[in-house]
Amino acid sequence: MSRVHIREQRRMSRDMRKMRRYMRKSMRRRTREGPRGIGAAAGIFWTYRSELAPVYTMISLTFSASVAHRMWGTGAIIVVALFCLVGGSVAARRYDRRNERGYARVVLFLACGWWAAGAITGPGHPPLPTILMLGGACAAIPWWAHRRRRSRVRVERTIRAWPVLAEDAGLAGSRVMSAVVDAFGYTARVALRRGMSARTAIGRSDEIASMLGVRPNSVRVTADPDREDHVIVRVTETDPLARVAQWPGHGDITPTITEPVPLGVAEDGTVVAVSLLRRHALIGGVVGSGKSGLVNAILASLVPAADVDVWGIDLKGGMELGPWKKALGKLATTPEEAVLLLADARDELTARARELAARGERTWHPTRTRQALVILIDEFAELPGEALDIVDSIARLGRAVAVTLVIATQRPTQEVMGNGATRSQMDVRVALRVRERADTDLILGAGAYRSGWRTDGFSLPGAFLLLDPEHNTPIPSRAYLISDETVASIAGKFVAPIPLPPASDKQHPEQSEDPQEALWAALVDAGPDGVAVPDLVTATGRSRRWVYYALHQLQDAGRVATTDGRWRAHE
Ligand SMILES: Nc1ncnc2c1ncn2[C@@H]1O[C@H](COP(=O)(O)OP(=O)(O)OP(=O)(O)O)[C@@H](O)[C@H]1O
């Protein structure tokens, strides 16, 4: 939890304590001799203290200036005013937003100035009363209009009314323990009546939304991992996911499979990222829910990573993965090609397992020369039966050798997933919009819907819930949207390297179409003097970037060396 949240939570808890104390006192006062009218008026002044704060400030300034005018000399007044100015200005640092800090400091400066003038000349001395009224009104407008303040006040009142309202939602006896307000809504920890289970409260989220008078589907209730009689209630007042999350690009980060892949933005504004190294992923959602968009977000991060080779199966005839073709190690667009690709993946897996055994190692650690392999399968349901057995064995054995499956499908039923253990091997689950409640359980696992993992209410494409070892609470998020131009630009920039020629191959083919072979031949022909990159560009017919990429691959494999900008093949 951020420092801002902690501070906000402390402030809310403090206000709630004060409110309870005040209510107890006022109850006691009412039951004793105190006149009812005064108690009621005090209650109103307390309830609307936030809205009336500018008025209270003006009254306190006038009163304290009048007392100081009678009791203190000019020197003491100026010292006190300066002291308040400096102290208040330091205290204003606690506001995390620049405009809030600025507002607090301007108001403080004006208030201290007015107070010092009022204390020296007397607060009733013209034109001080007029200045106070006009200045107070101007300073009050931003205060009254401030969205975060209004939202905090609304939450406080909701919390105060909770014990009464909760009865209508079938949660009688529950109370709010703490609440945190953020830019999009608030999160409250609610203690349930003894004997009531978290599951009962989770099932009442629609009733709570009705009780609070908020939008449908804007209340999410989840279990508190520490206590069965507590739940976390999240109320989203403005939907942060309504805006399309544009893909932010790679920034300064060098993509690698060893780091989590950013998928999109969560409702609290944080980036949602998922680790795909040694983990298989299942993405599910109805037609148009944004499965392919999510696959694009994954590809945009994996394709530029030097330590991973990405293969794709797109049984929509290449409609979705076609634009990535150049950047993919292999792409299958028909059921027959898919079976061949999966068979190659299984051979690769077996070869890696043998290599690990020969080295006496248990885990494949991806590098530029020993890459991880990620196989993306869009429209998994279209795979032919013979492919399912191979998928099953890759799902079971792929982790240790860094061969990962990312599967996208509409409904991952047992029939679609085959009779093997493929679904149970999926460590990362991403649920997009589903039509029926039971489909959430199909994607995320049995019991997910009853535990608050609900995506049947999602209406926007790309909205998802992520369940993996690092994400165990249902936080609605929206996938990054990647434009076709961005896909084309990434795929064009990070062309998949052509497999290296075997180590023994030193023959210069007479007429080679293969640029990798032409590169190797040019390096071998150059002998010990080596060859410059422009000559290699001519020999291969490829770009300078491609030549450098291929040369660095060969260098990593110990097959070439460079001196003074000239490259030569090792004997
Ligand atoms: N993250 C997103 N943000 C905004 N719009 C999106 C997002 N993802 C997808 N969309 C939009 O939703 C539409 C459908 O998306 P997409 O093709 O990814 O869905 P799908 O689940 O793969 O559908 P199908 O099952 O037909 O393949 C697209 O036109 C796209 O513009």
Decide which of 492 and 375 is more confident.
375
Helices 205-212 and 147-168 pack at an angle, to 10 degrees, of: 120
Residue 301 lies inside a defined structural domain of this protein: yes
Closest approach atom of ligand 1 to CA 479: 1
381 lines ligand 1 (CB under 6 A): no
Q: What is d(CA 487, CA 500) in angstroms, rounded to the nearest whole number?
A: 26
290 lines ligand 1 (CB under 6 A): yes
Give pLDDT, residue 436. Answer: 87
Which strands form 531-532's sheet, in the order they lie side by side? 531-532, 566-569, 560-563
Q: Alpha helix (H) ranges present in 326-409?
A: 335-359, 385-397
- The predicted-structure confidence for 140-187, as pLDDT tens digits, reads as follows 999 888 877 887 787 788 777 888 888 888 888 888 888 887 767 788
Residue 248 lies inside a defined structural domain of this protein: no
67 and 40 in one domain? no
DSSP 125: S
What is the pLDDT averaged over residues 494-511? Answer: 50
Q: Are 465 and 431 in contact (CB under 8 A)?
A: yes
Question: What sign for the dihedral angle of Cα 330, 336, 340, 345?
Answer: positive
Give pLDDT, residue 525. Answer: 87
Name the pTM for this structure. Answer: 0.63
287 lines ligand 1 (CB under 6 A): yes
285 lines ligand 1 (CB under 6 A): yes
What values do phi and psi take at 407, rounded to 5?
Answer: -110, 130
Residue 103's domain comprises 53-120
- For a ligand 1 pocket test, name from 481, 482, 486 the mutation site with the most ligand atoms within 8 angstroms of its C-beta: 481
479 lines ligand 1 (CB under 6 A): yes
- The predicted-structure confidence for 298-349, as pLDDT tens digits, reads as follows 999 999 988 899 999 998 888 889 999 888 989 999 999 999 999 999 999 9
Residue 103 lies inside a defined structural domain of this protein: yes
Closest approach atom of ligand 1 to CA 295: 18
The answer to whether 445 is a known ligand-binding residue is: no
456 and 355 in one domain? yes
425 and 376 in one domain? yes
CA separation, residue 94 to residues 105, 269, 483, 571 (Å): 12, 21, 40, 67
- Strands (E) in 149-240, as ranges, are 175-182, 185-191, 219-223, 230-236
The answer to whether 289 is a known ligand-binding residue is: yes
458 and 388 in one domain? yes
387 and 334 in one domain? yes
Q: What is the mean pLDDT of the chain?
A: 84
285 and 189 in one domain? no
Closest approach atom of ligand 1 to CA 410: 25
454 and 387 in one domain? yes
Give pLDDT, residue 203. Answer: 86
Residue 125 lies inside a defined structural domain of this protein: no
- Kindly report the CATH number assigned to the domain that includes residue 467: 3.40.50.300
The answer to whether 326 is a known ligand-binding residue is: no
- Rounded to the nearest angstrom, the distance between the alpha carbon of 67 and the centre of ligand 1 is 68
The answer to whether 288 is a known ligand-binding residue is: yes
Give pLDDT, residue 267. Answer: 81
- For a ligand 1 pocket test, name from 239, 243, 246, 289 the mutation site with the most ligand atoms within 8 angstroms of its C-beta: 289
Q: What is d(CA 449, CA 276) in angstroms, rounded to the nearest whole number?
A: 25
Residue with tokens 């073709």: 325
Task: Report the phi/psi class of residue 360: left, alpha or beta, with left for phi > 0 and alpha for psi in -120 to 50.
Answer: left
- Strands (E) in 411-530, as ranges, are 426-431, 463-467, 477-481
Q: What is d(CA 497, CA 38) in angstroms, rounded to the nearest whole number?
A: 82
343 and 329 in one domain? yes
Residue 164 lies inside a defined structural domain of this protein: yes
Residue 247 lies inside a defined structural domain of this protein: no
The answer to whether 264 is a known ligand-binding residue is: no
- The predicted-structure confidence for 208-253, as pLDDT tens digits, reads as follows 888 888 888 788 888 888 888 899 988 887 777 788 888 888 777 7
The answer to whether 73 is a known ligand-binding residue is: no
Helices 544-556 and 515-526 pack at an angle, to 10 degrees, of: 70
Q: What is d(CA 460, CA 441) in angstroms, rounded to the nearest whole number?
A: 20
- For a ligand 1 pocket test, name from 272, 291, 299, 320 the mutation site with the most ligand atoms within 8 angstroms of its C-beta: 291
Band the pLDDT of 277: cuts 50, 70, 90. Answer: very high
Q: What is d(CA 249, CA 239) in angstroms, rounded to the nearest whole number?
A: 24
167 and 88 in one domain? no
- The predicted-structure confidence for 410-433, as pLDDT tens digits, reads as follows 988 877 777 667 888 999 999 999
291 lines ligand 1 (CB under 6 A): yes
Distance linking the first and last C-alpha atoms of the chain: 58
Q: What is d(CA 107, CA 93) in angstroms, rounded to the nearest whole number?
A: 14
- The predicted-structure confidence for 530-540, as pLDDT tens digits, reads as follows 899 888 988 88
- Rounded to the nearest angstrom, the distance between the alpha carbon of 457 and the centre of ligand 1 is 17
469 and 390 in one domain? yes
42 and 57 in one domain? no
What values do phi and psi take at 318, rounded to 5?
Answer: 85, 10
- Rounded to the nearest angstrom, the distance between the alpha carbon of 481 and the centre of ligand 1 is 9
Most confident of 65-74, 242-251, 538-547: 65-74
- The predicted-structure confidence for 447-466, as pLDDT tens digits, reads as follows 888 888 889 888 889 999 99
* pLDDT above 80: residue 470: yes
- Kindly report the CATH number assigned to the domain that includes residue 166: 3.30.980.40
**ipTM of predicted complex:** 0.95
Band the pLDDT of 501: cuts 50, 70, 90. Answer: very low
324 and 307 in one domain? yes
| DSSP string computed for 236-275 | ESS-GGGS-EE----TT----TTSPEEEEEETTSPEEEE-
Residue 426 lies inside a defined structural domain of this protein: yes
Residue 140 lies inside a defined structural domain of this protein: no
Measured by CA distance, the residue closest to atom 13 of ligand 1 is 288
Closest approach atom of ligand 1 to CA 287: 25
* pLDDT above 50: residue 82: yes
Per cent of the chain over pLDDT 90 is: 35
Q: Work out how many domains the chain is built from and give that number.
A: 5
Q: How many residues does the chain have?
A: 571
Measured by CA distance, the residue closest to atom 24 of ligand 1 is 287
Q: Are 560 and 520 in contact (CB under 8 A)?
A: no
Structure tokens at 144: 């009254």
Q: What is d(CA 143, CA 147) in angstroms, rounded to the nearest whole number?
A: 9
244 lines ligand 1 (CB under 6 A): yes
288 lines ligand 1 (CB under 6 A): yes
What values do phi and psi take at 546, rounded to 5?
Answer: -60, -45
- Rounded to the nearest angstrom, the distance between the alpha carbon of 463 and the centre of ligand 1 is 10
